[in-house]
Chains A and B, each alone.
Chain A
Amino acid sequence: MFRRLPDPTGTIAFDFEGTTFEACEGDSVAAALLANGVLGFRTTPASGAPRGPWCLIGNCHECLVEIDGEPNRQACMVEARAGMQVRRQHGARVIPR
């Protein structure tokens, strides 16, 4: 879907649903997922339809994912970090116990 412009950047590795993804330092989680070909970030609570990021600046809330076990995180507003565990969010968020 997306490629990187040829600028030198440091890389980090994180986990997406059991697969190791590489991202650039400073990427948002949303940019990191898109760079790895993930387009559907969540399914809606109402109908289960797939959704992906729309605004990338924190407004639309279409990019909600689960990060390190915490649901309802805006992927476009969280910086990707080495070792992070990221999952798609299916339907309504489940509050961790």
Chain B
Amino acid sequence: MSRTVGLAIIGAGPAGMSAAIAARAHGADVLVLDEQAAPGGQIYRNVETVTTERPETARVLGGDYTAGAALVRAFRKCGAEYSPHTSVWEVSTVARREDATAPLEIGILRGGVAEIVRARCVIVASGAQERAVPGPGATLPGVMGAGGAQSLLKGAGLVPDVPVVIAGSGPLVYLVVWQLVRAGAPVRAVLLTMPNGWMGRAVGSLPEALAMPGALLKGVGWRRALAARGVPVMSARDLVIEGRSRVESVRFRHRGRTRSVQASLVLLHEGVIPNVHLTLAAGLDHAWDGRQHAFRPVVDEWGRTSEPAVLVAGDGARILGAEAAVETGRIAALDAVYRLGRIGAHQRDALAGPHCAALARHRRFREFLDLTFEPGPASRRPSDPTVTVCRCEEVTVAELERVIADGCPGPNQAKAFTRCGMGPCQGRMCATVVSELFADRQHIGVGAVGHYRIRPPVKLVTVGELAGLEGIGVAPVDHPDTLTRPKQAPA
């Protein structure tokens, strides 16, 4: 018989962990479902092992990373049930359409076994993903997300020992380069792809930047450190990654002149966007965020979605960073324990006050980051017809333009015409780009274009695993021939 918990939290990054700690403080029974082997999310990936057993990795990653160990310790002690190696392939609100008090049903996969767990309240804290960066040569082996390379460093202490070029925009570019340089990686160039005018916007939003002077100084420090080590940092346009079966060089335009840098590894980064597959598949309302150039679930100040028993906290709701995710996790947890009848509305509001004030500072600072590191149209809406947009099914800009010109109304129909978005990643890598291309060529807003329709299961689950679900009613097949040959009557 499957169980029902008070609060299920999906993801154990800063938002999920702090939501669990806050909900436990009010006595809620909390189940945390996490795809990873240990708590920390992507930002604090592997932080327990690194801080206790890998001093050199800890040194390279720096204090902001190792500080995450304290949050993980508090989470481990809070009394929430932690389920690692658990992927969530569905959050279903279907039962609640009939009965508004029915629990939510969460489809999970753990150790090769699919199960349904029920919860009266769910906080989705599934975090962010790196924005896909389509461009010439971007599918070659040896091209990775900058966050991907950082993940190898955190998880396995791996450092590139071949020439590396990092290209893109965003605070993570500086952080990753700073870490790789500390680790002794041969970084050949940092190519900044911010569109013209970014410096003016950065200066114009300095009042917002001063909301968090410490963070601003940190960024300045990273830039200084790179300059001190002689790592070339330059603006770049029209990036082309070249190579036959793997990366060999990067060509780009710098101040009107074409330049080329030899590299075996190219790390791309144009910011991060919310992971929306789970909330989309749950049928919750989403909107296009024109400032962050990403789809996000529509939430109120508590993180409540269009189904109020499902809340979203952390970067999965809107990109605000790890420290803000701690605040939104706590705020969502307070509303969850209020829903579960553990505190009253007045107590909830009073307890949320300081967290809302802290969150306001993070939002102001994010204004500065969003304006300064806005990914340019060239990164978001590739114009080169040969560029691969859907990496799984290898659908190019030219193919998408052709079906748009032929009257294909939107991304869902483009799937049928081109197979874009229908490969194993389920559109995670191309959805935003495809919607942007439709908006651009049809001269309408991206929000009006919408996102691919996403259906569960949103994780790789085999038919065999699903067939094992309780209540599915599939009897075990004792002989494969049973399926094709009528059973003979017993003699």
Contacts and interface: CB of A to CB of B under 8 A. Distances in A.
Contact of B152 (A6, A31, A47, A58): A31
Contact of B155 (A28, A55, A61): A28
Nearest to A1: B162
Given A2-B159, A3-B158, A26-B49, A56 B54 contact: no
Interface string B139-155: 11111110111011101
B156 A61 contact: no
Interface in B420-452: 423-425, 428-429
A67 interface: no
A48 to B, nearest CB: 10
A85 B79 CA distance: 38
A78 B130 CA distance: 20
Given A39-B246, A60-B391, A62-B391, A26 B129 contact: no
B67 interface: no
B159 A5 contact: yes
Contacts of B287: none
Chain A contact residues: helix, strand, loop or mixed: loop
Given A3-B161, A39-B246, A55-B147, A60 B156 contact: no
A47 B391 CA distance: 11
Contact of A40 (B130, B149, B245, B264): B245
Interface residues of A, number: 43
B35 interface: yes
B404 interface: no
B64 interface: no
Given A7-B55, A52-B141, A64 B158 contact: no
Contact of B54 (A7, A32, A74): A7
A8 B53 contact: yes
Nearest to B138: A54
A52 B149 CA distance: 13
Interface residues of B, number: 50
A60 B155 contact: no
B246 A40 contact: yes
B115 interface: no
B158 A9 contact: no
A2 B183 CA distance: 12
B455 to A, nearest CB: 17
B111 to A, nearest CB: 12
A61 B425 contact: yes
18 contacts: A1-B162, A4-B158, A7-B55, A9-B53, A28-B156, A44-B392, A46-B394, A51-B391, A54-B391, A54-B429, A55-B148, A56-B144, A56-B149, A57-B151, A59-B275, A60-B391, A61-B424, A62-B391
Interface of A: 1-9, 24, 26-28, 31-32, 34-35, 39-41, 44, 46-47, 49-62, 64, 72, 74, 76-77, 79
Given A39-B246, A52-B143, A54-B143, 4 more contacts: A5-B157, A32-B156, A40-B246, A77-B35
